[in-house]
Amino acid sequence: MTTQQKKEIPVPQVEKRQPIPKQNLRVPGPTPIPPEASEAQTAPMINHRGPEFSAMMKRITLRLQYFFQTEALVMTYPASGTGGQECAIVNVFSPGDHVVSITIGNFGNRMAKIAEAYGLQVTRLEYPWGEAAEPASVEKRLQEVAPYKGVLLTHNETSTGVTNDIETLARIIRKHNPDALIIVDAVSSLACVPLEMDAWDLDVVFTGSQKGWMVPPGLMMIAASPRAWEAYKTAKLPRFYFDWEMTRKSLQSKWQHPTTPPLSVLYALDVTLEMMLEEGRQAIFDRHQRAGEYVRNRAKALGLDLLADHQYASNTVTAIKVPEGIDLKVMLKKLREEEKTVFAGGQGQLDGKIFRIGHLGYFTEADLQSAVDNLEHVLHDLGYKG
Amino acid sequence: MTTQQKKEIPVPQVEKRQPIPKQNLRVPGPTPIPPEASEAQTAPMINHRGPEFSAMMKRITLRLQYFFQTEALVMTYPASGTGGQECAIVNVFSPGDHVVSITIGNFGNRMAKIAEAYGLQVTRLEYPWGEAAEPASVEKRLQEVAPYKGVLLTHNETSTGVTNDIETLARIIRKHNPDALIIVDAVSSLACVPLEMDAWDLDVVFTGSQKGWMVPPGLMMIAASPRAWEAYKTAKLPRFYFDWEMTRKSLQSKWQHPTTPPLSVLYALDVTLEMMLEEGRQAIFDRHQRAGEYVRNRAKALGLDLLADHQYASNTVTAIKVPEGIDLKVMLKKLREEEKTVFAGGQGQLDGKIFRIGHLGYFTEADLQSAVDNLEHVLHDLGYKG
């Protein structure tokens, strides 16, 4: 087309905007938002280079460090959890570096793919979906594939509802390779189940706002150990948007960001962090453990099969096998339309074979009870005998 | 540190959260949000893989295409405007490609830096800050530096308050190099001043939610011409988060995203797009033109010097030279604290030398009048004789 052929694009015909429905949203993120935090988003915009912003950002950052259990600066970016995976990789590695990807599901595979897209040499230690990375076999395999510069791990695999024992895995990796960079995707675990970045000697840990933090999606948080910052100095993968140093400098000198941060999500996070401190870290972990146990027990009582190895079953998301004779699409639609209850389907190789119930962030036991009650009704309506 | 030296990170002592003040926020983004859009953010979270989301995303995307004036799919990412710069570059170029960066300020320089960070060979055509890229000299220089694969341009340079004549520049580039990829940073111009992606034959155009779109920061929108999509097929720069194909596939097959989108910003955008259509594209452009003229005329009447060449002065942001004898920090603080009016300072080489008044997105003429009235008071309080 040349500029001579000027063509006007007309106003599109679209469906009218409908009110967003209030549902029992039981997917593993986005999670429901507490009313105080939701309301906080409506505060006026401010200058992200002004003192009001700096005061808020300092408070948020220090509190994030507490929940990460780290003395390292927690850096924040407008991004999704996948952005966290990329940010973790591009700041510490160089093309051709050998990394080991311990993958137990879809999001572990995604991080491995990112590493490959950036030209790393990736060795996958894959475990069947539904299982955790078994420490003894990890130890054996690591010795076989050495040397390697880093290990990519998923704390809680959102696609399968399995939580890796990161503390043990990190100890094994460190014993075998003291300089290894241990990269942990904690998107759907942090602030829900125990994770202690410094005590467990993890090097890069990242998470996303729409999970345990009880705020809308749009913010990614990431922290790097002194060992990771040392690696940063020689890491040659190309990067700019996700570069750490630019962000560190802005945060540490002014509690600001090099680019425009997602203000309304930060307003909400400022509120939820306060709520989380009031509830207490251990109490939050306990609540998630009770939630996991409740959902698993109810599912088993209904005669349903859980995907996850019971020893490693996640306390933030439960994956349930679709029972014989049940059409998953019909079941999810019926739940959504008739019961206002929303579960997630499966991903990748589990598409159509499982559904997932999220129980992280902002929920009450009544929300979970109602969700499983509705599941029970719908299953029976669909002829499930259990 | 070894895992033996377990160290607990205590709850930090922080300043108490203060209410976010309502100000006359006259920075060139984030811009104030209309109450209806601000309120829309508080709608419940929904499943970003469900039908409610798809219905919203289809409507938003088609309307974005109208404002971009393109038949190309407008893709959306959780990111800032800088993310748009990176996204534009990594999808169409390969290491070593020669690109010409026409830069007239800080954001033009940033895009050139990103291209260099990714290993492109960048030739800069630099213009003094405050001036636009002069078409005749661009034409001459392009011939001297050929061959090149693409040209990086800024439509509206937020740091200097100058709007390039992209239509003319694109025509010159296309005449000289029919296959050139014309990449346009329209972060602070799109939806405020005329831009017609298809008619002007631009290849990549991107913008950010916190500017003319009247919603909070956190969303980046980008579109690519058929020529850019053709270049994508052979572009070898590493990428994953900002990859186009993954996003295109999700949007075009399901009106969803490969990763979690910033829901509350999208809720607000769904509302503002409706408001923008009601006001009308031309009426929005006219309102911004009146705003630009108003602020420039008032500044001149106060005896202040404008940074921008009058022929290319921006209708979304006005840069004003700090008058002799005035301490900029004191002036901005007084305006903020006493008059609840917030202007932006200068960036890079203009830090301390200019201040900037934003007049884009959601504003009334009364907002601008009050802002300049307050500027006048404060200047006189500080002894300015004008």
pLDDT tens across A77-86, in order? 999 999 999 9
- Contact between B1 and A50 using a beta-carbon 8 Å cutoff: no
Q: Is B34 on the interface with A (CB under 8 A)?
A: no
The answer to whether B151 and B180 are in contact (CB under 8 A) is: yes
What local confidence, expressed as pLDDT, does residue A5 receive?
A: 60
Give B386's pLDDT tier (boundaries 50, 70, 90).
Answer: confident
Q: Closest to B82 (Cβ–Cβ): which among A2, A50, A241? A: A241
Q: Is A4 a residue whose pLDDT tops 80?
A: no
Q: Report domain extents, chain A.
A: 24-31+281-381, 40-276
A138-186 pLDDT, tens per residue?
Answer: 999 999 999 999 999 999 999 999 999 999 999 999 999 999 999 999 9
Name the amino acid, one letter, at A185: D
B40-63 pLDDT, tens per residue?
Answer: 999 999 999 999 999 999 999 999
A354-370 pLDDT, tens per residue?
Answer: 999 999 999 999 999 99
The CATH class of A24-31+281-381 is alpha beta
* Rounded Cα gap, residues A38 and B361, in angstroms: 23
Q: Is B2 on the interface with A (CB under 8 A)?
A: yes
Mean pLDDT of B158-184: 97
- A40-276: CATH topology: Aspartate Aminotransferase; domain 2 (3.40.640)
What local confidence, expressed as pLDDT, does residue A386 receive?
A: 80
What local confidence, expressed as pLDDT, does residue A251 receive?
A: 98
CB atoms within 10 A of CB A127: 22
Based on the number of CB atoms within 10 Å of its own CB, is A377 exposed (0-12), middle (13-18) or buried (19 or more)? middle
Is B17 annotated among the ligand-binding residues? no
* Rounded Cα gap, residues B251 and A375, in angstroms: 30
Where helices occur in B219-364 by DSSP H, the ranges are 226-234, 244-254, 263-279, 281-301, 328-339
What local confidence, expressed as pLDDT, does residue A2 receive?
A: 47
Find, among A209, A210, A156, the residue nearest to A185 by Cα: A156
Mean pLDDT of B215-243: 98
What local confidence, expressed as pLDDT, does residue B5 receive?
A: 60
* Rounded Cα gap, residues A45 and A52, in angstroms: 11
pLDDT mean across residues, chain B: 97
* Chain B residues 3-32 within an 8 A CB cutoff of chain A: 3, 6-12, 14-15, 17-23, 25, 27, 29-32
Q: Is B1 a residue whose pLDDT tops 70?
A: no
Question: What was the ipTM of the complex prediction?
Answer: 0.97
Paired tokens of B325: 């004898």
Percentage of residues in chain A having pLDDT higher than 90: 97
Q: Closest to B216 (Cβ–Cβ): which among A56, A264, A344? A: A264
Q: Kind of pairing, strands B354-358 and B344-345?
A: antiparallel
Chain A residue closest in CA terms to B114: A240
What local confidence, expressed as pLDDT, does residue B2 receive?
A: 47
Q: Is B121 on the interface with A (CB under 8 A)?
A: no
Q: Is A283 on the interface with B (CB under 8 A)?
A: no
CB burial string A23-51: b at 16+ within 10 A, e below = bbbbbbbbbbbbeebbbbbbbbbbbbbbe
* Rounded Cα gap, residues B257 and A210, in angstroms: 15
A42-79 pLDDT, tens per residue?
Answer: 999 999 999 999 999 999 999 999 999 999 999 999 99
Give A3's pLDDT tier (boundaries 50, 70, 90).
Answer: very low
What local confidence, expressed as pLDDT, does residue B7 receive?
A: 79
CATH 3.50.50.100 for the B45-276 domain, yes or no: no
pLDDT mean across residues, chain A: 97
